């Protein structure tokens, strides 16, 4: 006959079962204290936590609050509502010019705010030896010693003659290489009927004591009212770009009749900028995200870029180090293979148009735009 277990046996059996469950927490489906529930990624797992707090916030990645290595950061100068239209550097002195006759310079590590003494919008600038040229229009070209904020600005205009009707014609781009006899200016043409200067979009200038001699060089073949918006030099050649996708190459620059070749840019977008390196690569950029590139001896082709906004400026140090900036606080870099966005720190909710860029070296980049001046932070995360 089978005997029932005694109460003592039942008691001890219960203790053994409880102990068994206590020692096998992984198998009973209950998490140990402090651990996440099954299937949840902990803070050290390879789940969504690795994406960081900016995973669902692209703007947080592109526009961080703090400066860090490789990021464009705001310069320590208050610009209020001023618009900077051109930027450059020579002999360690960075300079930007813009609206209301503004001239700002970085001297001995500190930015200083100044101007030419008039309200003219300074649309372009160039260095010619130890001179700084800041251009508004063909009758408002300002020149002084570069880096000498105490020097007087000289205002030059064309010699009197058949160029008198060119008053207030904007200079959109300027090259003033001291190795060349002439300086070159891309301009918005006079296209009102009855003027001999109809359609002139590129001129060259030779400085005299108190004025400069002026000659027309290019009329934009696309339209007599289509201007050129930028000009840049490379070796013995100049490149100019402008409205309706116009691109021109100029050689024999100091001769009586420079050679001018019109290139097919592959776009009808308004081209706002052009830059060429010493090996023959040429880039031009403009509206609707247009950015075209010409390999040495080849034809222009449009490049894939991570934006569709207007690209106002392009510049670099080589074919594998090119920068482009534009509307909506867009900054991009080309490494020789692909274009990628570059973060900009310290803008808050602002997304200003960036209108000028110069790459002095791979680690020294200046960007200027609507009420903002940016420099590239170094390895220490500090921007000059």
What does the pLDDT average to over 132-153? 88
Report CA-CA distances (Å) from 249 to 41, 134, 153, 258, 318.
Answer: 59, 24, 32, 10, 19
What does the pLDDT average to over 28-35? 34
Give dist(CA 185, CA 292) in Å, integer: 22
Which SS3 state, helix, strand or coil, does residue 24 take?
coil
Domain positions in the chain are: 61-376
How confident is the prediction for the chain on average, in pLDDT? Answer: 83
Instruction: Give φ, ψ of 61 to 5 degrees.
Output: -75, -40
pLDDT of res. 76: 87
What pTM does this model have? 0.83
107-116, 196-205, 289-298: which range is least confident on average? 196-205
Which pair of structure tokens corresponds to residue 206?
Answer: 């030779």
128-142, 180-194, 203-217: which range is least confident on average? 180-194
Contact, 371 vs 352, CB < 8 A? Answer: yes
Instruction: Give φ, ψ of 154 to 5 degrees.
Output: -100, 130
Beta bridge partners, 374, equal 74, 367
Choose the most confident range, by mean pLDDT, from 28-32, 54-58, 289-293.
Answer: 289-293
Beta bridge partners, 365, equal 359
Instruction: Give φ, ψ of 98 to 5 degrees.
Output: -175, -145
15 has pLDDT over 60: no
Q: How confident is the model at residue 1 (pLDDT cuts 50, 70, 90)?
A: very low
Q: How confident is the model at residue 278 (pLDDT cuts 50, 70, 90)?
A: very high
Contact, 34 vs 25, CB < 8 A? Answer: no
What does the pLDDT average to over 275-298? 96
- Domain 61-376, CATH: 2.130.10.10
Beta bridge partners, 137, equal 140, 170
Report CA-CA distances (Å) from 68 to 232, 261, 342, 343, 374.
Answer: 32, 45, 12, 10, 13
Secondary structure of the chain as H, E, C letters = CCCCCCHHHHHHHHHHHHHHHHCCHHHCCCCCCCCCCCCCCCCCCCCHHHHCCCCCCHHHHHCCCCCCCCCEEECCCCCCCCEEEEEEEECCEEEEEEHHHEEEEEECCEEEEEECCCCCCCCEEEEECCEEEEEEECCEEEEEECCCCCCCCEEECECCCCCHHHCCCEEEEEECCCCCCCEEEEECCECCCCCCCECEEEEEEEECCCCEEEEEEEECCCCCCCCEEEEEEECCEEEEEEHHHEEEEEECCCCCCCEEEEEECCCCCCEEEEEECCCCCEEEEEHHHCEEEECCCCCEEECCCCCCCCEEEEEEEECCEEEEEECCCEEEEECCCCEEECCEECCCCCCCCEEEEEEEECCEEEEEEECEEEEECCCCCCCC
Give dist(CA 108, CA 111) in Å, integer: 8
Burial tier of 268 (Cβ tally within 10 Å: 0-12, 13-18, 19+): middle
At 144-175, the pLDDT tens digits run 988 776 788 999 988 766 555 566 789 999 99
pLDDT of res. 200: 75
pLDDT of res. 270: 97
Cα-atom radius of gyration of the chain, to the nearest Å?
Answer: 31
Top pLDDT among 236 and 38 is at 236
279 has pLDDT over 50: yes
> How close are the terminal C-alpha atoms of the chain, in Å?
97
18 has pLDDT over 80: no
At 318-367, the pLDDT tens digits run 999 999 999 999 999 999 999 999 999 999 999 999 999 999 999 999 99
45-59, 63-77, 263-277: which range is least confident on average? 45-59
What does the pLDDT average to over 366-377? 96
Top pLDDT among 276 and 166 is at 276
Q: How confident is the model at residue 30 (pLDDT cuts 50, 70, 90)?
A: very low
pLDDT of res. 50: 43
51-55, 187-191, 301-305, 328-332: which range is least confident on average? 51-55
Top pLDDT among 114 and 200 is at 114
At 216-274, the pLDDT tens digits run 888 777 677 888 999 999 778 999 999 999 999 999 999 999 999 999 999 999 999 99
51 has pLDDT over 50: no
Q: How confident is the model at residue 290 (pLDDT cuts 50, 70, 90)?
A: very high
What does the pLDDT average to over 42-61? 51
Please choose, from the candidates 344, 358, 370, 359, the residue with its C-alpha nearest in 3D space to the C-alpha of residue 67: 344
pLDDT of res. 218: 84
Top pLDDT among 197 and 173 is at 173
């Amino acid at each position: 006959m089978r005997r029932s277990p005694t109460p003592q046996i039942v008691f001890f059996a219960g203790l053994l079962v409880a102990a068994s469950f206590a020692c096998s927490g992984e198998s009973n489906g209950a998490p140990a204290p402090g651990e996440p529930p099954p299937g949840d990624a902990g803070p050290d797992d390879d789940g969504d936590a690795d994406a960081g707090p900016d995973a669902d916030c692209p703007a947080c990645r592109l526009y961080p609050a703090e400066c860090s290595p490789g990021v464009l950061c705001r310069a320590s100068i208050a610009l209020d509502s001023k618009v900077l239209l051109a930027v450059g550097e020579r002999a360690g002195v960075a300079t930007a010019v813009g609206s209301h006759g503004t001239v700002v310079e970085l001297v001995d590590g500190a930015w200083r705010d100044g101007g030419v003494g008039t309200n003219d919008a300074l649309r372009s600038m160039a260095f010619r030896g130890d001179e700084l040229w800041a251009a508004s229009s063909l009758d408002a070209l300002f020149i002084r010693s570069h880096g000498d904020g105490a020097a007087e600005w000289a205002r030059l205009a064309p010699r009197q003659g058949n160029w008198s009707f060119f008053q207030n014609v904007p200079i959109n781009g300027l090259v003033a290489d001291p190795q060349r006899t002439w300086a070159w200016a891309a301009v918005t043409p006079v296209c009102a009927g009855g003027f001999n200067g109809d359609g002139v979009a590129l001129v060259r200038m030779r400085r005299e004591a108190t004025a400069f001699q002026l000659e027309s060089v290019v009329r934009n073949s696309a339209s007599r009212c289509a201007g050129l918006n930028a000009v840049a030099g490379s070796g013995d050649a100049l490149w100019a770009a402008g409205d309706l996708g116009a691109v021109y190459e100029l050689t024999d620059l100091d001769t009586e009749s420079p050679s001018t070749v019109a290139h097919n840019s592959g776009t009808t977008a308004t081209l706002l900028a052009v830059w060429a390196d010493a090996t023959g690569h040429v880039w031009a950029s403009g509206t609707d995200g247009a950015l075209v590139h010409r390999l040495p001896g080849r034809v222009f082709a449009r490049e894939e870029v991570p934006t569709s906004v207007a690209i106002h400026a392009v510049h670099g140090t080589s074919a594998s180090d090119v920068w482009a900036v534009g509307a909506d606080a867009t900054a991009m870099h080309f490494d020789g293979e692909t274009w990628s966005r570059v973060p900009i720190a310290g803008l808050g909710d602002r997304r200003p148009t960036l209108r000028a860029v110069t790459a002095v070296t791979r680690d020294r980049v200046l960007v200027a735009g609507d009420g903002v001046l940016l420099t590239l932070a170094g390895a220490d995360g500090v921007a000059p």
